[in-house]
């Protein structure tokens, strides 16, 4: 299947070679699959167990597994996830990941391990982002070499490796599709192109609201410049209106869920947001371990503010911006500048207005993440720059130039082999004991059936940074957790945590009774041996309030499971 060049598009280079007009879709996907495997090595060797850390990767693994589990059973309550009991819309305390979850659900239904599905979708974000930009630039220039270089710039931005554990930020595959739909909408003014644009934006909302907000601003700026350059007509406005309607329909459920969650967990205070704004010098910083410029990383940037877009890519973008200009080049230059300004957050003039007037921007903690959209603009312009250089060379020399530039871009952004945390596919037998005690099947993973009793409320101890691990275990048993880990924490949850730190004193037992807790696990692998032994001995002497269900070895330690019967009294 070929993607024809948009009629009437302003070509950014002097010629459009006939042999390159058909974009090699399958070849682009194959190439970026190989490049992704190489640039993220050795993770491809550990698809079923390797993740960056046990924080956000396990959170996102759980979120996608929850969507796949809940959708066939109770889709209307898909945002009421099984964490932070008894609160509602807890899936929306972080990114809901509905779109990638829909892609991964068939694999989970077939019995694939949740971490394996996470990793496949993780790699898909790299591959589809690179191939998508390549196909977009090919559509604009007709040059395959330029397209591949542009795709590599976007797919392997140093930003991605600095946010390697933030799956939701790396799911950018809908951005090239949105830009492609934008160009076709403005070029042809067809309603179906507008629907494609709206679909891409809606899918980005259903993947990452963070990225969708930034993409929306970028699309608005680029689209406005292209409309003015090409001429504002009623037909084009109608197509854009269709895009807005389709995107709005897809985005509304996610937006409402986030609004409902924000009433519970609140919004980001200005004092919290101001530290997440970028400085100009942050664009010189990348993740430690980057090949050629690690020696200056310590002088610039900071956590989540390493925004280096690549020196080779910037030089190529400047080549594209050398006069004479075209509407496409001007549009992306303006979009890039606005993205750069927004990345400064409350340090600049635009973001404060958005923070005050658009409620979703008050949920964002790190405006510097807009640096990803700076990289998006740089990648397209870099492709146009390569096309301009190629247009001045013979065909063979142009291909050699593109190959050399591709190697330079990859070398400029390559980082040392990434350390991985290995997560075992097996889960503690304790949870099978829990299911047996409730009279439920012990299939792994558990799939709820009509007629099954409602999930029991489970409290996992200790209350610690290991909560994402408890959520990962929940993908196998799907009981309701008092515990939770996400982008926000409610005041009620934080207050409850303070009380439960004194477990099992009377105040903590009262809280447990009010929450409807029926089971408690005590994880010896996350506690000092003496503390675990003392707590288990105390619980054993509190029968019948706590009745031992099982003790199981795990990771050279032990996990104890208790059934909790609230003591009589007020």
Predicted confidence (pLDDT) per residue in 270-322, tens digit: 878 888 888 888 888 877 766 566 556 656 767 778 888 989 999 999 999 99
Side-chain half-sphere CA neighbours of 103 within 13 A? 17
Q: For 561, phi and psi rounded to 5 degrees?
A: -115, 130
Within-domain flag for 386: yes
Question: For residue 356, what pLDDT is reported?
Answer: 87
Query: How many Cβ atoms sit within 10 Å of the Cβ of residue 102?
Result: 16
Taking each continuous run of H as one helix and of E as one strand, the counts in the chain are 23, 7
Among 74, 81, 108, residue whose Cα is nearest residue 95: 81
Question: For residue 450, what pLDDT is reported?
Answer: 67
Question: For residue 396, what pLDDT is reported?
Answer: 83
Question: For residue 16, what pLDDT is reported?
Answer: 46
Within-domain flag for 419: no
Rounded CA-CA distance 211/72 in Å is: 28
Rounded CA-CA distance 275/280 in Å is: 14
Element (H, E) at 431: helix 430-437
Positions of the chain with pLDDT under 70? 1-23, 265-266, 289-299, 301, 444, 446-451, 569-570
Question: For residue 451, what pLDDT is reported?
Answer: 65
Q: How far is CA 364 from each of CA 24, 53, 95, 102, 493, rounded to the nearest angstrom?
A: 38, 22, 11, 25, 21
DSSP summary character for residue 415? B
Element (H, E) at 459: strand 457-461
Burial class (CB in 10 A: 0-12, 13-18, 19+), 444: middle
Residues 328 and 186 in one domain: yes
Q: Number of folded domains in the chain?
A: 2
Within-domain flag for 89: no
Q: Which of 413, 444, 477 is the last residue of a domain?
A: 413
In contact, 386 and 405? CB cutoff 8 Å: yes
Rounded CA-CA distance 288/118 in Å is: 25
In which domain, by residue range, is 535 found? Answer: 430-564
Question: For residue 162, what pLDDT is reported?
Answer: 87
- How wide is the angle at C-alpha 558 spanned by C-alphas 554 and 559, nearest 5°? 90
Ordered strands of the 517-523 beta sheet = 480-481, 457-461, 517-523, 557-564, 546-554
Among 441, 418, 281, residue whose Cα is nearest residue 347: 281
Question: For residue 65, what pLDDT is reported?
Answer: 95
Question: For residue 20, what pLDDT is reported?
Answer: 47
Residues 278 and 347 in one domain: yes
Residues 143 and 276 in one domain: yes
Residues 149 and 278 in one domain: yes
Q: Which of 413, 439, 459 is the last residue of a domain?
A: 413
Question: For residue 211, what pLDDT is reported?
Answer: 92
Residues 448 and 364 in one domain: no
Question: For residue 160, what pLDDT is reported?
Answer: 92
């Amino acid at each position: 299947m070929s993607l024809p060049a948009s009629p009437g598009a302003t070509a950014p280079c002097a010629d459009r070679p006939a042999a390159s007009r058909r974009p090699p879709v399958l070849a682009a996907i194959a190439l970026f699959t190989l490049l992704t495997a190489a640039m993220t090595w050795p993770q491809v060797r550990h698809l079923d167990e390797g993740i960056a850390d046990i924080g956000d990767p396990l959170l996102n693994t759980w979120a996608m597994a929850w969507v796949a589990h809940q959708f066939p059973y109770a889709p209307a309550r898909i945002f009421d996830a099984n964490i932070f009991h008894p609160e509602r819309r807890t899936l929306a305390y972080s990114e809901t990941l509905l779109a990638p979850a829909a892609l991964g659900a068939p694999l989970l239904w077939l019995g694939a391990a949740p971490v394996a599905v996470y990793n496949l979708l993780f790699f898909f974000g790299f591959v589809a982002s690179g191939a998508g930009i390549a196909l977009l630039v090919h559509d604009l220039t007709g040059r395959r070499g330029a397209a591949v270089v542009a795709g590599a710039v976007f797919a392997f931005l140093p930003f991605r490796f600095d946010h390697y554990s933030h799956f939701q930020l790396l799911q950018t595959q809908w951005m090239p599709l949105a830009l492609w739909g934008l160009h076709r909408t403005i070029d042809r003014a067809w309603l179906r192109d507008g629907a494609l644009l709206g679909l891409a934006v809606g899918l980005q909302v259903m993947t990452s609201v963070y990225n969708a907000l930034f993409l929306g601003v970028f699309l608005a700026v680029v689209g406005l410049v292209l409309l003015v350059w090409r001429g504002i007509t009623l037909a084009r406005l109608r197509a854009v209106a269709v895009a807005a309607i389709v995107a709005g329909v897809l985005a509304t459920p996610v937006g409402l869920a986030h609004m409902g969650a924000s009433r519970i967990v609140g919004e980001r205070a200005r004092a919290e947001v101001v530290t997440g704004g970028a400085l100009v010098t942050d664009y010189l910083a990348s993740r430690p371990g980057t090949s050629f410029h690690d020696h200056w990383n310590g002088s610039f940037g900071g956590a989540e503010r390493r925004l280096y877009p690549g020196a080779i890519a910037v030089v190529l973008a400047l080549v594209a911006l050398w006069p004479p200009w075209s509407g496409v080049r001007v549009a992306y230059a303006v979009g890039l500048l606005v993205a750069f300004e927004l990345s400064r957050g409350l340090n600049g003039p635009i973001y404060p207005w958005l923070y005050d007037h658009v409620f979703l921007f008050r949920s964002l903690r790190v405006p510097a993440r807009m640096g990803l959209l700076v990289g998006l603009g740089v990648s397209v312009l870099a492709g146009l720059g390569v096309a301009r250089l190629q247009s001045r060379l013979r065909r063979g020399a142009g291909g050699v130039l593109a190959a050399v530039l591709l190697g330079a871009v990859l070398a400029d952004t390559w980082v040392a082999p990434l350390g991985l945390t290995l997560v075992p596919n097996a889960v503690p037998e304790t949870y099978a004991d829990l299911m047996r005690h409730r009279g439920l099947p012990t299939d792994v993973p558990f799939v709820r059936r009509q007629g099954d009793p409602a999930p029991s409320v489970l409290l996992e101890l200790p209350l610690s940074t290991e909560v994402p691990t408890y959520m990962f275990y929940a993908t196998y048993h799907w009981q309701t957790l008092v515990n939770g880990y996400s982008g926000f924490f409610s005041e009620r949850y934080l207050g409850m945590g303070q009380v439960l730190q004194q477990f099992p004193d009377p105040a903590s037992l009262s809280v447990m009774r009010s929450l409807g807790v029926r089971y408690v696990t005590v994880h010896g692998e996350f506690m000092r041996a003496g503390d675990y032994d003392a707590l288990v001995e105390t619980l054993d002497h509190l029968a019948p309030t706590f009745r031992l269900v099982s003790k199981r070895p795990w990771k050279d330690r032990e996990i104890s499971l208790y059934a909790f019967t609230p003591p009589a009294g007020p």
